[in-house]
Homo-oligomer: A and B are copies of this chain.
């Protein structure tokens, strides 16, 4: 009886990984549109056609990289959050934001792949949806816990919110998994927006000449965004 994972299967998994590692390295140098199956094959030491045993097309390889990127940033967020005491909401928020940015800074092209300009003529398949939400789940979890621990109160909002927006919020509410006002949901979505807006602005060069201590500025603004949401 052959082992549950046969030699062939193990080697295959390893090579699949090697290909992805090479592809990521190439991505970092050339960007998403410069990613070439042939170049990847060369780096791994295969003939170009051999790569097709592992990925049926260039787009499938891109998809794999996108899923990996979402999972990587999601895992970074989850780990940073999990390393904090659960009732230390402030620390959890800052640690998570910082972890996400740190991942983005050290994986610039991968960040650009998922949060930058979409690759033209490439449609992200459904498999990317779940990994894409991991980060959001962490952020929302912190806000939910803040509510649960009574660290913030959810006064149901002096803000007048248009009907069409209110009906949009049902999906976001599902993520919350608890009673929450439209007002707080919107603030949460805005915080999420701002987090990635700030990272993109920095990494895509729009703060050159305006901000030099990016660490400090990011920290400061994420603290303010926390306050904006109602967090301590």
Q: B-contacting residues of A (Cβ < 8 Å)? A: 29-34, 109, 112-113, 115-121, 124, 129, 132, 159, 161-162, 164-165, 168, 171-172, 186, 189-190, 193-194, 196-198, 200-201, 204-206, 209-213, 216-217, 220-221, 224-225, 228
Does A196 contact B193, Cβ atoms closer than 8 Å?
A: no
Interface of A is mostly: helix
Does A224 contact B159, Cβ atoms closer than 8 Å?
A: yes
Which listed residue, B164, B196, B220, touches A216 by the CB 8 Å rule? B164
* This chain: copies in complex: 2
Does A115 contact B31, Cβ atoms closer than 8 Å?
A: no
A201 and B193 in contact (CB under 8 A), knowing A217-B165, A228-B228? Answer: yes
Nearest B residue to A219 by beta-carbon distance? B162
Does A210 contact B121, Cβ atoms closer than 8 Å?
A: no
Nearest B residue to A133 by beta-carbon distance? B209
Does B201 contact A120, Cβ atoms closer than 8 Å?
A: no
Does A171 contact B220, Cβ atoms closer than 8 Å?
A: no
CA distance A117 to B162 in the complex (A): 33
Does A171 contact B209, Cβ atoms closer than 8 Å?
A: yes
Residues of B within 8 A of A198 (CB): 193, 197
Nearest B residue to A183 by beta-carbon distance? B224
